[in-house]
Each structure stands twice: as C-alpha cells, then as structure tokens.
Structure 1
C-alpha cells in the first residue's frame, strides 16, 4: 500500500511541476505518482501545488519575514541591543526591569528573550580565560607580530608549564522528583587537588609529572632533570629553545644557574 503523504518534500514538489510541464492534468498526476512512484497524494494537494507553481513560478512559499515582537517598539529594541552591548551578562529579568524603569512598560521575560533572540544575541555558559595585564598584552602582540614576520615555526621549541586540577567536582544541575527535597552535595572548603607539569613540542610531548604540595626552585629543577632532560637528549640532541612563563621558580638565580 502506498504511503499517504501529508507534507510535500522538495523532490515531490519538483516531480509534480515536471509532470504538469509535460501536459498531465491533476488527476493524471495523482495516478502517475501512485503507479510509478508508489506515492499517494490527494487531488487537492496536487491542485494547490500546481496553482502555486503557475502563479509564482516557485515550488515553495517563501518564508515569512520575522516581525518584531509585540509590545516592543523599535526604540525598545534599540535600547535592549544597546544595554546588552554595555553589559552582555544581563538576564531577561534584568532587561524587564530596565525597560520598566526607562520606558514605563511592563512586558514578560519571555517577550524580552524573544526580542533578544530576534536581535541576534545568543546565550551560553560563560567561558573563562587567564587575565592578562595591559602591558603584557602589548608585549604579546609584538611577539606574535615578530613571529608572523619571521615565519617562526617553533621547530626546536619546547613549551612547559604547570597546572592545578581539583579532584572533586559536581555538575551545575541535578534532578529530583516532584514532592521530594533536592539532595545537597557537600563541598569541602579546601578540596583535594594535584599539580601537573608537562611539556609539548613539534616533536612530541614530555612525560607528565604529577605532584602535590608546594613547588619551589629546587623541586622544579628536579623535575627538569628527571622529565625534561631525557626528552631533550632524545628529541633535540643538536639544540633546543625552552619556552616558559616568568614564574619566580622558573627565573630564580638557582634555576637559571642550573639551566646553564
């Protein structure tokens, strides 16, 4: 039994138009689709599609242009857009309050959220990055420009750094049944954490060193001896460049003397 089509696909629209161009009538198109394509389409559907094709020359109706949300004028939309440019962390409730304070209008949060979406604003979880002081931004930009001009490929550069990983973590949301209380998750004041040292280069990565406690210059030098030195001897016997930040233990007198 042929399936009964409720919504015309692009192929089916093109097929109906092609059969119409061949001179077939509506009833003949219905029979042709049923016998040769095994598709059941009503007479009215074919009639409407042929009428659309004859009057507009297109196979589908164009999408309707999005209209501005009701209750909000162009001035309101401009104000919402300007407010989000000044502070991109404003919530829907914040914008409702600001609109009421400035324009004296009362709108729902959902009206504001639809307006925000219409303006092209999207919401996602905040992603954090390391804060860089303005003087260092200039220095980093200058360095990046020099690398681009000299076509630096970092062929013999080893990048090393440390990072801290907190062992305990929880998701931002949890579920609970209606009529029950949500389960509270204990959060220690000082969660257990470990530190990780590692290096990367164009020729591969060093072994990872995991440790707890505090790293001073002497301990840092022990890591360089046990993890970095063997990597250098294996992959960079003819010379290398070490790239690291200006952490005090990295640039201390004893560490500099050790590297020499």
Structure 2
C-alpha cells in the first residue's frame, strides 16, 4: 500500500479529534476515494498521541558490525568460559564500547567462529593419582599385547523399574505426552561377569551388599560355578573394581581360600570394564523393548535378557572394545575417555 500523504494524515488526525472511530474515519475517506487499512490508521493515531507528530520518525541507527578485534574478543570469551550465554557475551562486549544484539552474537558465534551448542557429556570423575595409575595400566597392557583372553570381568549394577524410552516422537503442533515417573522408583541390584568364553549366571538381589554377602552369595554361587565350567584347569584372572567391599580383609581372605586370582585394575575406570556396556544394553532393552511394569516383571525380564541376549560372541565383542579404549587413555594421559 502507498504511503499516506501529509495532507491525508492531517485529515485522519482531525477526524479522530472530532470523535470519529477508526471504522468511521475509513468510511469517510472511502467516500472521498481513499482506501486506508485500519492498522495504518491505528498506527498513525498512536504515533500522534505518543510523539505529537504525523511525520515519519527517524529510523533507528543500525547496530555496528563485528570487526576483527571484536571477533577475537568474542572467541576468547567463549574459549575461556564455554558455558557463557549470548547475554553474557553482550555484557562483556559493552565493556569494549560495542553494542551488539544477542541474535547477532548467536549468528556470528555459529557461522563465523564455528562454535556450536551441545549438551555436556558427562564422564567418570578421575582424580590425578588415578590418572597416573590408568596411564601406567594402559602402557603395560599395550606393551604386553594384552588380549584379556583369560579375564573374567565382573561388576554390580542397579536397575530401576522403568518402561519409558528416552526419546519420543510427536507431530508438529501436538503437545508432548506427559508420562508419570515415581520420585523413588523401584529397583533391584544385579551382579554378573563376562569373559571371552561366555558369561556367568546373573544374580539379582535387594538391599545393601556387604563383604559377607558379596563373597558367600555372589562369588560362591555366581563366580566359582562358572570358573569350574569355563576354566576347569584354572589359569583365569578375576577382575573387579575397587569398591571397599571388594577389597576388604574378609573378601581378600575368601579369595585366597578359594584360589581366586584377583587382577587389580585402576580405580575410577569404568571405561576399562566392558561389562559396563552390557549394563547399558540391558537398561536400554528394558526401557524400550521389554517394558516391565511390576517388580516381578523386572526380575523375570532381566533373567530373560541375560539368558537370551548375552552370548559368548557378544562378550567377545565388548571385551575386544578395550583395545580401542587403551590408546585413548594414553592420548588423554589417563583422564576420562568418554567410552
């Protein structure tokens, strides 16, 4: 639509001052051959009431563009604090006498500086002393061309009663489906071990695990029967984490009495225990496929998964994955690998 002349603008204001409504003003102008949009009339009258003029207001001064100095400053800000928001960057740039909109900051951050926003990835927190131990362990395994052919990797895990997957699709415009979740979900604890010759039976238990229970129930009824079947001539290595129940005097005495050769590994190193990946697969299968709704369902489906899905070939695949992790431990100097 063509811009209104100053004469027509004055007439609209005069008609309004005489008490005419917007629809009445448009009707009067239509009789004179002028077709004016009601929004145009409304905006003109608001301008008159606010600024006392019918002329065009001066346009806002365009925001200055980013220069090389400001790009470097912004890049350093993000590199120093990778959680800084566009508003935080804007405040810092104002200290450099530069006013930039947050939308421009977001655009420049991605297109010119190549910063992308992602959710943080969390990994095991590893103390410095354990970083050194992990590095030495990785060097020793690589130099000795370790294959873990006679290793039995064991661990415990807590499994919650959960039947909802982590992802859900919905059509555009649909509200997301709300799924109830208990504040303290029901859960059980499981223990098992894997080797290239297969897996032990899985043991499901409740309550707090103590050294006596660990030895008399898990090792006695879970580990030793598997050893007699898979390693009848001995020659195996028993691998567990450094939980206090695993390293207590009672547990050490039990392992000596039953000739269990414990092979120590670095603390805070779940990425060096391949059974952790099997726990992840178990939980994903329960959430997205088996979907237990009761505690009995949960126990039954855990047992089903272990007997049906955990094959020697799968155990060999996960144990072989350590060969990919060890070089990364060297590369990051013992820190978390993300595996």
Q: TM tier, shorter chain?
A: 0.5 to 0.7
User: Structure 1 CA distance, aligned partners of 2:142 and 2:76?
Assistant: 36
Partner of 1:112: 105
* Partner of residue 88 from structure 1, selected from 78, 82, 97: 82
How far apart are residue 213 of structure 1 and its match?
1.6
| Corresponding residue number in structure 2 for 1:232 | 227
Change (3 A) 1:183 1:161: same
Q: For 2:210, which of 198, 211, 216 is the aligned residue?
A: 216
What count of residue pairs does the alignment treat as equivalent?
A: 189
1:130 aligns with 2:115: no
Residue deviations 1:65-119 (CA, integer Å, cap 9, x gap): xxxxx8222222222222222222223333233323x323332333222222232
Tell me how large the CA RMSD over aligned residues is. 3.0
Residue 216 of structure 1 deviates from its aligned partner by: 0.7
Partner of 2:149: 155
Give the number of the structure whose alpha-carbon radius of gyration is greater: 2
Offset of 1:187 from its aligned partner? Answer: 5.9
Distance between the aligned counterparts of 2:88 and 2:169, measured in 1?
25
Change (3 A) 1:116 1:259: same
CA contact (8 A) 1:197 1:209 kept: yes
Match of 1:103 in 2: 96
Higher helix share: 2
Q: CA deviation at 1:161?
A: 1.4
Q: Which runs of 5+ in 1 are unaligned?
A: 1-69
Cα deviations across residues 39-83 of structure 1 (Å, max 9, x unaligned)? Answer: xxxxxxxxxxxxxxxxxxxxxxxxxxxxxxx82222222222222
Three-state SS of the structure 2 residue aligned to 1:210 is strand
- Normalising by structure 2, we get a TM-score of 0.48
Q: Give the deviation of 1:242 after TM superposition.
A: 0.9
- Alignment partner, residue 59 of structure 1: none
Alignment check: 8 A CA contact 1:197 1:208 kept: yes
Distance of 2:160 and 2:70 partners within structure 1: 45
The higher-RCO structure (CA 8 Å, 6+ apart) is: 2
Which runs of structure 2 are paired with 1:34-49 in the superposition (5 Å)? none
> Partner of 1:242 in structure 2?
238
Structure 2 residues without counterparts, runs of 5 or longer = 1-63, 257-339
